[in-house]
Structure 1
């Protein structure tokens, strides 16, 4: 038994006896650690038996690998990593690289066991002289263990412990090496080593290094490229070919000559490769969404993983999964739709526009809830930098930090849907006054809500003072009509319809139940609004928005992802009726001229004081919602006289900027999609006509007032007699004016009559000659001409 007082001569004599016994690695290691084991009074052979035993807690998992987010077609959107590493099998690593690494790092790897006796003996002599571990004689297996322990460390303290030059650390490494040689083949150990080693400049593992330095796979490396990477491993910072090309080339040539010396390549081949300059084609992969081609969609997916408990119980676990798990995340994003939406918002609201306005758009597929595109007109980055923002204005606070924006008249669609759900026909007509006092409303708790002192009116893109049908009131977006309709339907039923279609405040709170609900007083996100309108296109089937379709880990195992959550929120016939009405917005209403050349429907939205503008629209194949406003505060910086980058708009309505953005992006997104038609609504919705039928308004001018009133009432019109007016054409006491004029008018529309009180004072005297009758009396009167 060796003790601390054993002479150096005795130690060396023992070493000579063990030099040829490479199989007795346990004893050899005990000798390597003599200063430690001797001090503890542990026998060399006892230490050997202990050493050969499988260590507790030995695991090879936890090696960080980068995760990749893909679009629906498999194109990369972004990567996430703690260490930029892509694990590949051995047959995906060029053989020339394998032998290059073996030549320079461990040429006897396939001949020795876990511990290279020759290398370890060299280290042992040095350690005996120094009284501590200063050399390890590490081969490939031991280097793999060292890298493994470092990469498995979760904290800085664990990393320091894994790298410390101490006997305890060395014992653990060597014990692990012996155990792993029993567990894995030499090929598997080599594969793991090549995939875990650091190759400088942020590249971990041979595949990531090959892609980084040469923009090619590890299977495609040439001799010179393989030798360069093999040489970097020893000192990645000193031999970094980007920063230290000269030293990297010298090191590469050492590897080449070592390969030739071993007879693994021809000397001529080594010389030819050594004469080549270093030629790099650097692919600088960044972690995260900032450099992504779809940064805000990427950010939405990232936040989904970091916030959803299906991906881990704690935020730390979820972040570790994303940045270390080697995930392949297949998403719902459609590249065509994403590009079309980004081009549209950037064209109409440039990222660095002079007015500091912003725009956001979200696209959702009806019937699936799949998010096809999500864009903001700015780059992802610090808000203090012009043209950048960290806030995803297209998403809710949970997925983008946005508190949402008031939705304006886009919410009228929910009141319309609630009315149709109650069976109201298209021809249902309500009076829309010019001003409306919101009283008589009750929320879902039965409480009275509303402000008797408030007086709500119509926006400039609406009108009032007469009756409208469900169709015409929607087409003209009449505020007071929808306040009356909401009261008729019931505030609670209106709110519940919106909730069934997935609506909630962007903050995550429930919708506020107030009379102005139908006017869009609640702050929401474009994504939620697009998903709600997608339900109309899907004939009432609402699907919660989803952005992730499938996730596999580094081993190809499929992970659980949030499933589709769809529900038939409304009767199909009711949805068909909504589509019928909202189609008219694009053909005859506030967004006329914004059609797509296929069945499409939508609704404009203008928020109070022009603080923001919206458009939400859809086809049976795709739905989209667009917001335009000012991130600094819409009420402080309204769009009532907007000039932006030399283009002036005046007051901005939903049809001014949002609708053109919607139209351009939808045309691009659907360019390769065959048109799908809406269904005709059930016949009972036409029981009072189409809601937009015009009827003949008789001409009662020249008639006595009582005769005129009787004739108009028989035709179904309400009549009002207004103040008399002067008239030369019609006799005193007969009807001189009608409003609206004779022709076609809405059924039940109120007709205002004004009775003639005769010519004015200048018509028969006052020093001026009266205007001669036309034609002159000497000519026969023209047919139909009435001469007073």
Structure 2
């Protein structure tokens, strides 16, 4: 033990050697100063700095030199220190971080006083007493370093070190970084001139704060806050003495004293800091000795960088691409990338963690990431009325597709936000034809003949050009044809030839315009192509676009452009501009209510029956030609979603027929086979614990021909003519009177027979009594009708629901 007045030091504990007196230490420093001339490059730099005034005076005159040195440099910029950006979910939970340097800028009062003292003790103990240059401290540190044979104390003051770090950080290329670090008198003079300017511009506390926030603490941690969280899992405000001393010691040589790689060297360096703090009287001896005995106590917590390890990787990637591609965040991609990775942004998003978890579990359950068939699934969920993207899931990890179960392509988004060229949407596009027909004033009971095959002629695109083909289109295996359907039953059964006929009646252009009003475009950003099979969904689109379109029906005709970002603040807390949702009422509320009414039946009586979720919901299946892909788009008043299942290698080359995945086999995959169950499971999980909302009943005008829910006309034989006509009108059928017929079964004046005419009108014939052959069963074929209401044939090919 060595006594110095009131201080008692255990040099063994603190990392020093026993013995020695203040007198001998002083003598050693004096001897070191005398050897200044032999110190090489470092000594030359220091001498140049100390001789700066006479050197400048000799070259330009003392007055001019002094003025030049005291003037603030034009190129002094203290902004642009990289800070990490965070992407947050709607509930404030962390989705991902982005950075070139892992740094969190904090106020001085957010740094523990003991940490400030530790840094000052080892780097610049006279910081609050000197100006930009501390010649006394520089010589003292130089002598100490020479006498000990190693660098134990810093030569440059805190302000100069801040300047050096600032110039390195702001360097845009390797040449600028070399210039900021080269050991030359010119660099030191430049740093000192900047330091003089900063001492005028900022208070000592502010300079110290900036220094502690910019310094590198090793192992990828920049700034004391990030370093504290990285090494000890706590904020800098809660640092204890032994922890503060460890971080302070790392600053001088971060690689040599990195505690994760060189713990012994880091501990020795920490104890040097503790000894220095005790020498200065900034901690008492007992505390310094106790801290020196403690282990390093590391609890290393690494900060992930980017989306790969995010719990919502493809949504994260969508947000990243939104920032990198949208000019609102900067004039060039380089500027936007700099903002994201260096700007210390806090990015608030629309993602709902509950919805995201439900979606990810659903797609992974039904289409496992490494499934044996190589299929993929994607789902996007949008909130009606706001456009907020609440979830986005792909059954893959984000990464190179060279590894099984990974991909960089976001199948849920457009090419601009995920590199996907989109997928044909199948019969989910029929909803746009339905909406156009309802907007045109057609009631639910409107009936059209759906032949078993349909030659797509008689169409014109929006430029008035004839488009069409003589190749017949047919119904799919899960569709029906060869008879009449109403708007309701044709949709429920997703009859291709019915919708081709309906699209021709409404107009191809009106159908396309309806889709465009609802935000639809090709996934590559191009306008939708216009051909007769438009209603069958040949255009390649993304699940996100389709979900947003269906969300507009849920929002009673109000379409909102999908958004992922709600608010962004920069490192100073300033709010930045973000892209708006751009909501607009694009179709009449009543028309949207009518669409909702029809699509609700798809889940109860149509192609997706049995896929209800225990609350009001609507939707539409879609199976692409040749079973190359399958879709389901569905919604409640509170949430809309679109699900795609297909093969990234090419659906036509790898169709979903005779498909087996992980031990489960399917003969053929329709929209209701895998996509609808994914949607159902997602919605049940996403909406759990949330109140159910109801749809609005459609206006009465849509029921002017009945509900349209019957596939065939009700049997009105035996009823008086007036009652029979009323019954048919109630159920959406048009009727007309044919010639009377003889009947021994039905009394005179009652309906004796029914048939349908070519235009779908029900033809009623009244009995005139029994003076002819009996006709005691129906339906019977009428010579005026090429096909009666009982024709129940079904086609078996083509694009399906």
The alignment's TM-score, normalised by the length of structure 2, stands at 0.84
Matched-pair contact (CA < 8 Å) for 1:66–1:85: yes
Cα offset for 1:718?
Answer: 2.4
Structure 2 partner of 1:717:
755
Of the candidates 602, 606, 609, which is equivalent to residue 623 of structure 2? 606
Aligned to 2:598, what secondary structure does the other structure show? helix
Structure 2 partner of 1:689:
706
Aligned to 1:751, what secondary structure does the other structure show? coil
Cα offset for 1:119?
Answer: 3.4
Cα offset for 1:589?
Answer: 0.3
Q: Confirm whether residue 751 of structure 1 aligns to residue 774 of structure 2.
A: no
- Deviation string 1:49-108 (CA, Å, 9 cap, x unpaired) is 421221122121010111100011111100111111100000111111100101111111
Q: Confirm whether residue 551 of structure 1 aligns to residue 568 of structure 2.
A: yes
Aligned to 2:130, what secondary structure does the other structure show? coil
Structure 2 partner of 1:416:
434
- Deviation string 1:295-315 (CA, Å, 9 cap, x unpaired) is 000000000000000001111
- Deviation string 1:534-561 (CA, Å, 9 cap, x unpaired) is 0000000000000000000000000111
Matched-pair contact (CA < 8 Å) for 2:622–2:671: yes
Cα offset for 1:36?
Answer: 6.8
Q: 1:46 to 1:445 in 2, by over 3 A?
A: closer
- Deviation string 1:173-222 (CA, Å, 9 cap, x unpaired) is 00010111111111111100000000011110011111111111111111
Gaps of 5+ in 1: 1-11, 16-26, 127-134, 721-732, 742-747, 754-788
Q: 1:140 to 1:567 in 2, by over 3 A?
A: same
Structure 2 partner of 1:32:
51
Matched-pair contact (CA < 8 Å) for 2:218–2:255: yes
Q: 1:489 to 1:123 in 2, by over 3 A?
A: same
Q: 1:474 to 1:622 in 2, by over 3 A?
A: same
Aligned to 2:575, what secondary structure does the other structure show? coil
Structure 2 partner of 1:58:
76
- Deviation string 1:138-168 (CA, Å, 9 cap, x unpaired) is 1111000000011111112111111111222
Q: 1:237 to 1:334 in 2, by over 3 A?
A: same
Structure 2 partner of 1:20:
none
Structure 1 partner of 2:265:
247
Q: 1:261 to 1:483 in 2, by over 3 A?
A: same
Q: Confirm whether residue 515 of structure 1 aligns to residue 532 of structure 2.
A: yes
Find the aligned partners of 2:791 and 2:626 in 1 and give their Cα distance: 32
Cα offset for 1:695?
Answer: 4.5
Matched-pair contact (CA < 8 Å) for 1:334–1:372: yes
Q: 1:258 to 1:136 in 2, by over 3 A?
A: closer
Matched-pair contact (CA < 8 Å) for 1:103–1:262: yes
Q: 1:583 to 1:172 in 2, by over 3 A?
A: same
Q: Confirm whether residue 539 of structure 1 aligns to residue 578 of structure 2.
A: no
Q: Confirm whether residue 220 of structure 1 aligns to residue 228 of structure 2.
A: no
Q: Confirm whether residue 615 of structure 1 aligns to residue 653 of structure 2.
A: no
- Deviation string 1:390-433 (CA, Å, 9 cap, x unpaired) is 00000000000000000000000000000000000000000001
Gaps of 5+ in 2: 1-32, 37-45, 145-152, 719-739, 759-772, 782-786, 793-801
Q: Confirm whether residue 580 of structure 1 aligns to residue 618 of structure 2.
A: no
- Deviation string 1:247-275 (CA, Å, 9 cap, x unpaired) is 11111111111111211111111111111
Q: 1:715 to 1:418 in 2, by over 3 A?
A: farther
Q: Confirm whether residue 398 of structure 1 aligns to residue 386 of structure 2.
A: no
Matched-pair contact (CA < 8 Å) for 1:512–1:522: yes
Q: 1:273 to 1:125 in 2, by over 3 A?
A: closer
Aligned to 2:653, what secondary structure does the other structure show? coil
Find the aligned partners of 2:107 and 2:143 in 1 and give their Cα distance: 38
Find the aligned partners of 2:696 and 2:425 in 1 and give their Cα distance: 27
Cα offset for 1:229?
Answer: 0.7
Of the candidates 265, 268, 275, which is equivalent to residue 293 of structure 2? 275
Find the aligned partners of 1:84 and 1:510 in 2 and give their Cα distance: 42
Of the candidates 280, 284, 297, which is equivalent to residue 266 of structure 1? 284
Matched-pair contact (CA < 8 Å) for 1:738–1:752: no
Cα offset for 1:517?
Answer: 0.4
Find the aligned partners of 1:620 and 1:715 in 2 and give their Cα distance: 45
Matched-pair contact (CA < 8 Å) for 2:118–2:273: yes
Structure 2 partner of 1:465:
482
Matched-pair contact (CA < 8 Å) for 2:753–2:778: no
Find the aligned partners of 1:662 and 1:278 in 2 and give their Cα distance: 51
User: How many residue pairs end up in the alignment?
Assistant: 701
Find the aligned partners of 1:737 and 1:238 in 2 and give their Cα distance: 99
The alignment's TM-score, normalised by the length of structure 1, stands at 0.85
Find the aligned partners of 1:558 and 1:258 in 2 and give their Cα distance: 44
Find the aligned partners of 2:231 and 2:306 in 1 and give their Cα distance: 20
Q: 1:752 to 1:117 in 2, by over 3 A?
A: closer
Aligned to 2:602, what secondary structure does the other structure show? helix
Aligned to 1:373, what secondary structure does the other structure show? strand
Q: Confirm whether residue 502 of structure 1 aligns to residue 502 of structure 2.
A: no
Find the aligned partners of 2:401 and 2:664 in 1 and give their Cα distance: 25
Matched-pair contact (CA < 8 Å) for 1:537–1:618: yes
Matched-pair contact (CA < 8 Å) for 2:717–2:754: no
Matched-pair contact (CA < 8 Å) for 1:467–1:749: no
Range that drifts further, 251-260 or 394-403: 251-260
Aligned to 1:149, what secondary structure does the other structure show? helix
Q: 1:214 to 1:715 in 2, by over 3 A?
A: farther
Find the aligned partners of 1:677 and 1:286 in 2 and give their Cα distance: 42
Structure 1 partner of 2:725:
none
Find the aligned partners of 1:174 and 1:344 in 2 and give their Cα distance: 62
Matched-pair contact (CA < 8 Å) for 1:31–1:44: no
Structure 2 partner of 1:311:
329
Cα offset for 1:736?
Answer: 9.2
Aligned to 1:690, what secondary structure does the other structure show? coil
Q: Confirm whether residue 209 of structure 1 aligns to residue 248 of structure 2.
A: no
Structure 1 segment 734-745 matched on structure 2, within 5 A: none
Aligned to 2:295, what secondary structure does the other structure show? coil
Structure 1 partner of 2:682:
665
Of the candidates 472, 476, 485, which is equivalent to residue 493 of structure 2? 476
Matched-pair contact (CA < 8 Å) for 1:30–1:48: no
Aligned to 1:402, what secondary structure does the other structure show? coil
Q: 1:647 to 1:168 in 2, by over 3 A?
A: same
Structure 1 partner of 2:43:
none
- Deviation string 1:642-699 (CA, Å, 9 cap, x unpaired) is 1100001210000000000001101111113211110010001001110014654378
Of the candidates 109, 120, 126, which is equivalent to residue 102 of structure 1? 120
Structure 1 segment 94-243 matched on structure 2, within 5 A: 94-121=112-139, 137-243=155-261
Find the aligned partners of 1:552 and 1:82 in 2 and give their Cα distance: 18
Structure 1 partner of 2:643:
626
Cα offset for 1:489?
Answer: 0.3
Cα offset for 1:41?
Answer: 3.5
Aligned to 2:404, what secondary structure does the other structure show? coil
Aligned to 2:657, what secondary structure does the other structure show? coil
Cα offset for 1:286?
Answer: 2.1
Find the aligned partners of 1:225 and 1:506 in 2 and give their Cα distance: 53
- Deviation string 1:304-362 (CA, Å, 9 cap, x unpaired) is 00000000111111111111111000000000000100000000001111111000000
Matched-pair contact (CA < 8 Å) for 1:32–1:124: no
Cα offset for 1:751?
Answer: 3.4
Find the aligned partners of 2:676 and 2:635 in 1 and give their Cα distance: 12
Find the aligned partners of 1:44 and 1:139 in 2 and give their Cα distance: 25
Q: Confirm whether residue 320 of structure 1 aligns to residue 335 of structure 2.
A: no
